[in-house]
Amino acid sequence: MGKYVESVLLPNETIEYNVKFTWLDNPIRILLIPVFGLGLILLYFSDKTRELAITSKRIIGKFGWIKRNTIDYPLNKIENIEVYQGFIGRIFGFGEISVTGTGGTTLNFKGIKNPEGFKQQLNTMRYQD
């Protein structure tokens, strides 16, 4: 896992699931690969600037290199989890996750490999006794 998630862990908090992302979620990157290697550069930075994990207490994430967004969402505030997969996503095993929390807050994560595994792990952590 990346450095951000590990750096913000609380005492007695453990990483339970590291999310992996796919580069197939953005057709612009795919189309730019043959153009002067620009797609490869974008591919590298998009991979290195996205982190997402489920811990024993919350969802933690960081997205972006120049413009950064971070997520810190407690598991006990999650109300609903939805998985969206298009045709290509079903074939190659990636999709989008939408997590709805109390108060109507919605978190969307695109390009997640094995989105059903993410949902299953998140539900397991939410309903642990």
Domains and CATH numbers, the chain: 3-126 (2.30.29.30)
State yes or no: pLDDT of 44 exceeds 80: no
Per residue in 57-102, pLDDT (tens digit) is 999 999 877 788 888 999 999 999 999 998 888 988 899 999 999 8
DSSP line for the chain: --HHHHHTPPTT--EEEE--B-STT-HHHHHHTTTTTHHHHHHHHHHHTEEEEEESSEEEEEE-SSS-EEEEEEGGGEEEEEEE--HHHHHHTEEEEEEEEGGG-EEEEEEEESHHHHHHHHHHHHT--
- Is residue 31's pLDDT more than 70? no
**Averaged over 38-48, what is the pLDDT?**
60
Q: What is the pTM of this model?
A: 0.79
> What does the chain come to in residues?
129
